[in-house]
Amino acid sequence: MNEWEKWIPLESIPARLYKESLIDDGDSLRIILSDETEGQKYSFLFDCLVLSYRNSDEGSRIRMLEHLDKHYAHLEYGNWTLFKVKNSSYLEWFTRESLKRYESIVEMEHYVFLTSNDVIEVLSVDAPTITKVV
């Protein structure tokens, strides 16, 4: 369960990003992250079917961080922000909770935005549109 992998959606994206905002307007989910050193902001727009998302203070996710430290230290998760999770327990939980309503959707993805203050997780059928915010 929970096979973590680095997600590199853009070649030039910085390793460490920080949450500026998370906006759920009912039709889409937008996560704005910034690079602390250069101040560049990136918008991750999920404007497709977002099945579920959660945002937790990283200090309350101690069990998850211990799991990463034990099994995924090679990913240098403390120095990287963007991940995908295969065989996700969150996705499995969602499937059970929805009574397998979305089980026929093969391409559900579990995205994780691991910042120094937040752990944002998104279950979505499509990848977000990523743009630099000027």
User: What is the tens place of the pLDDT at every residue in 61-90?
Assistant: 999 999 999 999 888 888 999 999 999 999
pLDDT for residue 121: 98
The amino acid that residue 81 corresponds to is T
Asked if 34 contacts 41 with a C-beta cutoff of 8 angstroms, the reply is yes
106 vs 64, higher pLDDT: 64
CA geometry: angle at 58 spanning 10 and 127, to 5°?
Answer: 30
- Domain count for the chain: 1
Output the pTM of the full model. Answer: 0.92
Q: Across the strands, what pairs with 30?
A: 23, 45
pLDDT for residue 103: 74
Q: Across the strands, what pairs with 24?
A: 29
Residue 125 belongs to domain spanning: 3-133
Residues 39, 17: Cα–Cα separation, whole Å: 10
Angstrom distances, CA of residue 38 to CA of 81, 89, 114, 132: 16, 35, 19, 12
